[in-house]
Chain A
Amino acid sequence: MQDQNYDAIILGGGPAGLTAGIYLSRAKLKTLILDQGIIGGQMVLSYEIANYPGVEKTTGFQLSNTMKKQAISFGCQIQSNVKITSIDFESETKKIEVNGNTTFHSKAIIIATGGKSRSLNIDGEDTFKGKGISYCATCDGDFFQDKKIIVVGGGNTALEEAVSLTKYAKKVSIVHQFDNFQALEHAVEEAEKNEKIEFVLESRITEFKGDDSLKSVMIENINTKEVREKSIDGVFIFIGYEANTNFLNNKCIKLNQWNEIEVNKNLQTNIEGVFAAGDACQKRYRQITTAVSDGTISALNTAEYILSKKGKLAESV
């Protein structure tokens, strides 16, 4: 087992984590970002970003690479695709074990593990992922030329993606569990006036069926409980995001009822020396700009915390 020491460790290299990395490294604190996946987080999933101020139009991949380069240029160390095998945030010196062979120690932690698309968690979903079930219209839309597809969800993403999928599909059915949509009015109007779109409201999919690929779904009417089989070529699922906080279950960090991290206005968690930023936290608006803002606030408070600890140490010597 190898041991390495840092001033601060950031879990997650999305926009929140990368921003925190930039600020902490610029403050000359020895900083490490650990990510279990690709650096950039959900930004990488976005083909086009048009609402990040100061950057006219870019891809999520480009914006991620620029942020990553910036962080590295200030001395921040970054490791991607790591497996976190154990954590101890309660002791004064925090510990994170990675890949079962290295333990990182630090004075402070920032949790910036973001979120991921929610899945339906029903029979057949894993089997037909990539074989008819998709979570990315821009990536997979063209496999469904002249096919019949379902879009699940009632938010902005579901309705906007349903409209964009009509470029390929001959028919798009929007299956949504309520009788009204959470999406903004203009998104609903766009979908309503599209002739290729039909609405299957107050309904939910209960099972996916097929052989080599998806062939049909079972749909239940929530009011009547009537279940029918609908033959279909593809299903796109857009039912929102959930915080990546499973690894904190049964740990000391306080989560709310949706498993989002509870923080105070300094983005400090209930544990001393542990801060949180971005989509993993309880908040209303989940955007790159808000993640970047959280990254800044958490980093500045983390720096202050570390320096105050160092100061106390100096006083006591």
Chain B
Amino acid sequence: MLQTNLKHVESRNDFKNLIENNENVMICCGRMGPMCLPVYDVMEQLEQGEDYKHVSFRDMEFDSHDAAVIRELPETKGFMSLPFTVYFKNGKLVRATSSIQSSEQVTSILDEAFKK
């Protein structure tokens, strides 16, 4: 289990329910490692602020069996750095990034992909 303050996606079912029932979803799939922690930190902060209330922020343990739903997406093929971060709009994958991302990089994707 990841030790973050984000809600976790723990199974395939969780993942399916999440993207089917929420318009804007960002999931960071990683470990408690150096390149992942800064992304969780950015997400926790955005979740607490006022500007991204329309986005559901989650993380998922990269090594869990069910994280295959993210590891094996066609859009993450070729990714070779943790974390894999994926963005879903109305159940459809709209962006995916590999490796560490800054607050600015994350918010620019959120602003573009999940326009209010």
Give me the interface of A with B, judged by CB distance under 8 Å.
36-39, 44-47, 60-61, 80-81, 83, 129-132, 134, 136, 138-140, 143-144, 211-213, 234
Contact = CB atoms under 8 A, between A and B. Distances in A.
Nearest to A129: B99
A144 B80 contact: yes
Interface in B88-106: 97-99, 102-104
A78 to B, nearest CB: 12
A131 B82 CA distance: 10
A36 B105 CA distance: 12
A65 B78 CA distance: 33
Given A37-B103, A81-B41, A134-B99, A212 B81 contact: no
Interface string B26-45: 00000111111110011001
User: B interface, by DSSP: helix, strand, loop or mixed?
Assistant: loop
Interface of B: 31-38, 41-42, 45, 77-82, 97-99, 102-104
A136 B45 contact: no
User: A interface, by DSSP: helix, strand, loop or mixed?
Assistant: loop
B80 A140 contact: yes
A134 B37 CA distance: 16
B80 A212 contact: no
Most buried by A among B34, B35, B37, B104: B34
Contacts of A138: 33-34
A47 B35 CA distance: 10
Nearest to B31: A139
B106 to A, nearest CB: 9
B45 A234 contact: no
Contacts of B104: 83
28 contacts: A36-B103, A37-B38, A37-B103, A38-B38, A39-B41, A44-B37, A47-B33, A60-B34, A61-B37, A80-B41, A81-B41, A81-B42, A83-B103, A129-B81, A129-B98, A129-B99, A130-B79, A130-B97, A131-B79, A132-B78, A132-B80, A136-B35, A138-B33, A138-B34, A139-B81, A143-B81, A213-B78, A234-B80
